[in-house]
Amino acid sequence: MAEQRFGFLPRILVASDGREPLQVPEPLADAVLLRDLDLATLVTAAGRARPPLAVDLDAVQGLNPDAAAVRFVTGELGIGVVLTRRPAMVAAAAELGALGLLHVFGFDSTGLGRSLEAHPRRPGVGTMISPGPVLAHLLPEDLVRLPRPVVAYGLIGSAELARRLLQRADAVVLAPEVAIRLVDAVRHTAPGDS
């Protein structure tokens, strides 16, 4: 379950605001996406965890999502995956040896197209698409346009949906309770049933 692809990107990232220690099964214990937190909580959470950690730069109060922030979270905090809707920042993350994920909103084809036009399309920069279930509805020709790795993010409320999305995405972001259900379902699946 904790198979890693694209360097240090786990298949499942557990979303966390960093305030409480996560109670997730062992294979996912360190695969955390920190979001919806302030700078002090980010520093504390990063100090408690081991990589791989990811951070949504746009969702950290007190941290301007700029090149200095990218250097701080990758260098000082050792966070290996940086998510933002700003193309220059994901490119900066890749230049520093981290994985940058451009947050693309797929609410309609126009927004998706505009986001992809601005995508840096370089090694070390992938795509995080929101809401995650949009991936299940993309045509194959649209899916291949998404620079890899592709991560499904948001509105993934069941283990079954997460499993389906993992057939198209390289990783998914899940709430802790959904991640627990997914790990339990995989553990109880007989070999050859998946």
Q: What was the pLDDT predicted at 39?
A: 97
- Domain ranges for the chain: 10-187
Say yes or no to pLDDT of 193 above 90: no
CATH 2.160.10.10 fits 10-187, yes or no: no
Mean pLDDT throughout 66-78? Answer: 95
C-beta separation of 46 from 30 below 8 A: no
| Alpha carbons within 13 A on the beta-carbon side of 43 | 9
- C-alpha distances out from residue 24 to 12, 30, 76, Å: 11, 9, 26
C-beta separation of 55 from 33 below 8 A: yes
Whether the pTM exceeds 0.75: the reply is yes
Q: What was the pLDDT predicted at 1?
A: 34
Q: What was the pLDDT predicted at 110?
A: 73
